[in-house]
């Protein structure tokens, strides 16, 4: 089991639950609170040291999974945080708001569908107004639905996946960059799927490749503005994205067993790299992709 904090040394192979897991179908978008076992987002283990004191962050997908872990970590490092999520995810979002406020930080919850360009613009505008600025943008929210064959992959699903994963990222970055000061940072979320695509994720995998290319190009374009752009590319991580259709249920049972660590990652294991890329400690890093993959190394 995980330790009392993220610094206690322990065997990474046995640090968190390993397969087999029970089948646990959920309707999209799924709730972390209903997963078995419940994911670790760092609620009790993440310790902060004020490395983001006074920062103002917008995190999409902040109700659960990697976005939730990043939001908790940012708050414990001293940032005020706006989280975005779908209205159906309100119970998870309410928990995150309480966790952020328990750290003495300001938390704002803005639900809405990122497939809408108008909402994406509104989200950035509201986040900037609520926080009194915006200097940390973290795009985590994504759509993933497993489909066995190309014959069964509809144009509607293909369109929805690209709008959620790529168009929304474009719209949000476009709206946010003019509002961000020198020293601000953008962190986008790709996946090992960008490099090792699964045959059942014919729409999802190419969106993650697009995020990598988009981020590398954007990093060069806006570096003269003093803004850095980097990417985190996780491997299999135990989140509602997987149990609510991202993987077939028979794969949920063995989820994570095919990586060298023989288990899925937990959202809490992703949070520290988001923190590092957000802080001034990573000041000479931009346009890079950082894998959190359980040993399935990136190229």
Question: Hey, which residues are catalytic here?
Answer: 204
| DSSP structural state of residue 39 | P
Token pair listed for 46: 């993440």
Token pair listed for 180: 């961000």
Rounded CA-CA distance 208/193 in Å is: 7
Rounded CA-CA distance 21/10 in Å is: 22
**Dihedral sign for Cα atoms in the order 128, 280, 51, 236:** positive
- Reduced to 3 states, what is the DSSP secondary structure of residue 209? helix
Strand partners, 84: 60, 110
- What is each CA distance from 125 to 3, 173, 174, 180, 188, in whole angstroms? 39, 12, 12, 12, 19
| DSSP structural state of residue 38 | P
In angstroms, how far is CA 145 from the centroid of its own chain? 16
User: Are 46 and 76 in contact, with CB atoms under 8 Å apart?
Assistant: yes
- CB-based contacts of 150, cutoff 8 Å, min separation 6: 202
Residues in the chain: 299
- What is each CA distance from 126 to 179, 233, 275, in whole angstroms? 12, 28, 23
């Amino acid at each position: 089991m995980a330790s009392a904090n993220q610094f206690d040394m322990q065997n990474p192979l046995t640090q968190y639950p390993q397969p087999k897991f029970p089948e646990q179908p959920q309707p999209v978008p799924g709730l972390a609170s209903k997963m078995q076992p419940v994911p670790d987002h760092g609620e009790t283990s993440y310790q902060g040291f004020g490395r983001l004191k006074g920062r103002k962050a917008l995190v999409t997908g902040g109700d659960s999974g990697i976005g939730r872990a990043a939001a908790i970590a940012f708050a414990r490092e001293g940032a005020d945080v706006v989280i975005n999520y779908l209205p159906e995810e309100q119970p998870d979002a309410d928990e995150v708001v309480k966790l952020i406020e328990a750290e003495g930080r300001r938390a704002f919850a803005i639900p809405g569908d990122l497939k809408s360009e108008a909402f994406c613009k509104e989200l950035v505008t509201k986040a900037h107004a609520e926080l009194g600025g915006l200097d940390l943008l973290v795009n985590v929210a994504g759509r993933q639905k497993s489909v066995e064959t190309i014959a069964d992959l509809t144009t509607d699903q293909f369109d929805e996946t690209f709008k959620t994963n790529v168009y929304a990222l474009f719209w949000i970055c476009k709206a946010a960059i003019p509002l961000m000061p020198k020293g601000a940072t953008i962190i986008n979320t790709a996946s090992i799927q960008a490099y090792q695509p699964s045959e059942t994720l014919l729409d999802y995998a190419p969106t993650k490749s697009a995020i990598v290319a988009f981020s590398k190009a954007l990093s060069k374009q806006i570096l003269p503005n003093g803004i850095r752009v980097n990417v985190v590319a996780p491997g299999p991580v135990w989140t509602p994205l997987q149990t609510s259709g991202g993987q077939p249920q028979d794969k949920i049972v063995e989820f994570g067993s095919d990586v060298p660590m023989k288990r899925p990652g937990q959202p809490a294991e992703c949070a520290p790299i988001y923190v590092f890329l957000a802080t001034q400690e990573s000041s000479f890093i931009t346009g890079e992709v950082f894998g959190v993959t359980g040993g399935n190394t990136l190229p």
